[in-house]
Amino acid sequence: MADDTNISPLEVLRAAIPKLTGAKLRVAEMILRDPLVAGENSITWLAAEAETSPATITRLAASLGFTGFPALRAAIALENGRGAQAGWERDIGSAILPDDPADKVLSTLAGNQFQAARNAMAAVDLSALERLADSIVAAGRVHLFGEWGDAPVAYELYLRLFRIGIPIWFHEGAYFAQVGAGRLGERDLALVMSRSGESVIAERFVDVARAHGATTAVITGDAKAAISRKVDIAVVTGTATVGVTSWTDYFAGRSSDTLICAALWALVAQRMPDFVFDRLEADDPAAPPGSSAKPRRKRR
């Protein structure tokens, strides 16, 4: 029988289209054009929309092997549910369900982020992170590349480093990244933010910068990625994208990226001279009155 739950009613309809004519064809085409609406409405509504009678729709359902329109409509609704669930899990993931309350959504995201931060703390090579901070401070120019999902964290790092006086440029597109890499020299640093480590554009950016004598570095979630083996300094965040297909997992990993980049920025700030912060305080209109106390910074 066509109404077996293992058989797609929409595929049954598509297969029947060449044999249908008149009102039955109009009904079949309406269902295929918008199965979600067809699966939610009554036989009377569908008959009116197709300019036919409910009896015609009943005969169509029977000719397809269903016991009647209710069985056909139930099969269509089940098919719609399967498609929606598959789409949800592919996009959002299975950790959060469509009917989860807000507190469950929030606690799930918070728990995933906390675990990602723990992964970062366990995986990061602090000596590599300190070498990268030293390289940023010593560089004549820093060119930072990050695209798509890596761009938000990379751009925040760029803003923070720029504010404390690091001569830094941020590149997101392929053309600007390649041109920027070609302008670097022996005293400069090319830094990539790529959690997956699989970006062809990022690898090209590193290759061009390296060919011009620049120091190269990557902040990534995959220590085994090809780009990690190409650069002078690889900082691993502990959250890779291997096997990650949903937004929930990818969003959780952003916490590890943010944590490592925040630590990197703080290490760079520790290495900056006092006059940089004196100037920031003098030029910053948002600085609170009386905020003249200066933090003790490490000397290198």
Q: Are residues 130 and 222 in the same domain?
A: yes
Domain containing 146 equals 104-283
Q: Are residues 149 and 78 in the same domain?
A: no
Q: Are residues 232 and 123 in the same domain?
A: yes
Q: Are residues 166 and 267 in the same domain?
A: yes
Give domain status of residue 295, yes or no. Answer: no
Give domain status of residue 221, yes or no. Answer: yes
Q: Are residues 177 and 279 in the same domain?
A: yes
Give domain status of residue 128, yes or no. Answer: yes
Total structural domains within the chain: 2
> H helices of the chain, where?
9-16, 22-33, 35-38, 43-49, 54-63, 69-91, 102-123, 126-138, 151-163, 174-182, 200-211, 226-230, 247-270, 274-283
Q: Are residues 201 and 272 in the same domain?
A: yes
Amino acid (1-letter code) at residue 161: L
Give domain status of residue 276, yes or no. Answer: yes
- How many residues in the chain? 300
Q: Are residues 141 and 85 in the same domain?
A: no
Give domain status of residue 201, yes or no. Answer: yes
Q: Are residues 119 and 265 in the same domain?
A: yes
Q: Are residues 150 and 222 in the same domain?
A: yes
Q: Are residues 70 and 111 in the same domain?
A: no
End-to-end CA distance of the chain: 79
Report the CATH number that the domain containing residue 27 is assigned in CATH: 1.10.10.10
* Structural Rg of the chain based on CA atoms: 29
Q: Are residues 184 and 244 in the same domain?
A: yes
Give domain status of residue 298, yes or no. Answer: no
Give domain status of residue 178, yes or no. Answer: yes
Give domain status of residue 299, yes or no. Answer: no
Query: Where does a domain end: 47, 65, 91?
Result: 91
pTM strictly above 0.75? no
Q: Are residues 128 and 60 in the same domain?
A: no
| Tens of pLDDT, residue by residue, the chain (300 residues) | 444 445 677 778 888 888 888 888 888 888 888 777 777 778 888 888 888 898 988 888 888 888 888 888 777 776 665 554 445 555 566 667 777 788 888 887 888 788 888 888 888 999 999 999 999 999 999 999 999 888 999 999 999 999 999 999 999 988 989 999 999 999 999 999 998 888 899 999 999 999 999 999 999 988 888 999 999 999 999 877 655 556 677 777 788 899 999 999 999 999 998 766 676 666 666 555 544 444 445 545
Report the CATH number that the domain containing residue 245 is assigned in CATH: 3.40.50.10490
